[in-house]
Structure 1
Amino acid sequence: MSSSEIPKTINGLKIILGMAGIGDPSSPSCRFPNVEATKELLIAFARRGYRDLDTARNYPPGKPETCEPMMGEALESLQKDADVVKGVPFIIDTKLRFAPPNKHSKEMVEKSIDGSLKALKMEKLHVEYLHGYDETSPIPETCKAMDKAYKEGKFEKFGISNASADVLEQFFETCEAEGLEVKPQVYQGDYSVLSRDCEGKLLDTCRKHGMPYYAYSPAGGGLMNSKAYRERQGGRFDNSNRLGQIYRNQHYKDHLIEAAEKVRELASANGLSGHVLALRWAVWHSKLSEKHGDGIILGASSIEQLNANLDAIESGPLPDTIVHAIEDIWSAAKAKGQQKPQL
């Protein structure tokens, strides 16, 4: 890739590498525990033609604020030494520290953004997200703090993650009422073959305001793996750690587990894994589109898995018969889910 080229897309979608597995090795999510391992991951991603990275002050789960410094050291070294990335900088998105009290107060917004810039060794971020909705901080205060940082040149785009459509509208209304220069410009949320809550009001709201949707957990947060793998110690659904509890609450429901088994059976019958099928569906058959500037955030526990994930999504769309079968499975799961009480 020459310096005149831009990161490639697949089916028009931006491909973004999630960095939650980088940082302090005592984190249950950590897979890349030092600068050298991080550099190898970034080089592997860059060699495939991609540059977009997604991180957060909270990464990795359980050991926050240890991912960004490691990334900063790796990125600084790569920009100086590695021919594979020289002249084509990585594009860095991050998220505010999301921790009580007053997660999105004026002071916390400023402290978090400045902390990210220092840790990542950058002068300006691409997207700065609110990592979630903080009910303890007034929306006007948060919006004004983000507007101030934007005017100071600290980030290019204001992002919001994990907020409802109604909350998103409140942010737009507030920015408009306060006459602020910057408004929410990018949304990041969960979206996969068996997690489609965003397809209604939330996506409609994003489209209304011209916001790209960047989808994380496109393979269902590991739901497509076998039961033994899903429930292994230290795994995505390990109930002994906070991250595992979050993913269990989000994905580990009877009707979704049943549907995931059917998706895995469908995939196996067609020579695929459930994981690969889910990734290909997200890129080629979901409601994400080039028209809206949407993107997919991929995770990877190893360089081998990174390359396998990229191979999967680069291999093209699924056959129509598989797509139709997936929709039948989803329709049945959705109906069962609506019959269950919300706990």
Structure 2
Amino acid sequence: MPLDPDIAAFLRSLQQRDALEPGETPVTRARARLRALTIDQLDQATEPEAAEAASTVLAGSVPARVYRPQATTPAPTVVYLHGGGWIAGDLDTHDVHARTLCRDLDAVVVSVDYRLAPEHPFPAALEDAYTALTWVARHVEAFGGDPARLAVGGDSAGATLSAVCAQQAHAGGLSLAAQLLVYPSTDMAGAYPSRTENGEGYLLTTTELHWFFEQYLGVSRSDPASAAFGGDPRVAPLRGKDLTGLAPAVVATAEYDPLRDEGDAYAEALRRSGVRVEHRRFDGLVHGFYGMDHISPAAGEATAWIHTALKRLLG
């Protein structure tokens, strides 16, 4: 279907810069751009309220922010991993994402501020993510959470980390109630039509996508080491040898997203492995729609579907 008109208008309004500002690097520009898209564009008066949001440190070294719902009974707990191509994003850029999850699910949300590349390349982000997940699992009742309803989830790069964490949790004997994967990258080394079809003009370009991969892995795509990374299931969860027994999943993809096809492929691979999957491709939307409720009613409807599906898995 055609690109959502509200999203199209938003994309037209973005001022694209071809040259770096004095003193700016590609990494600092990417970080500033994400903050502009997620913080500067928001009407602060419309931010969803959480009963409480407090900073903490998990396992002694991983910063996080904990959001607690109004409900006083033991609640589901979601360990949330933000997007940003593994090089951008923080607790503030994804504050509204966490607040909305907390509100819609009546869930405790633990938003994780994992280390970023290129200063901290792979596997630093994954190590922080899994450390946070296992630490929360051991202390979930202290957060007011229900041990039987623990989930991991995220968007974009955070969804990739979440998919890998779900695989590692299963291998390590940690039972999760659900995993939330919003437009994940699941097969870095793969070749998919959506990377060509949606390679330009839809917020995330294929060129940017490849650059993010390089910053995260610390190697050029032309380097032979890149192929080795590409086959590593800790980088490409679709390459996991056995997906049976993984936590039920909500997988959301977007029609106009370079990552669309590999996200769809991962949902299908999970389903073929006997995993319960709630999967939907959102036509007319782009990578980054999650969190664009204030821009597009269609994005808001997509977010509502995602949260309803996750709530269903969490009981």
TM-score (norm 2): 0.35
What TM-score results when the alignment is normalised by the length of structure 1?
Answer: 0.33
**Greater strand share, structure number:** 2
Q: Which has the larger radius of gyration?
A: 1
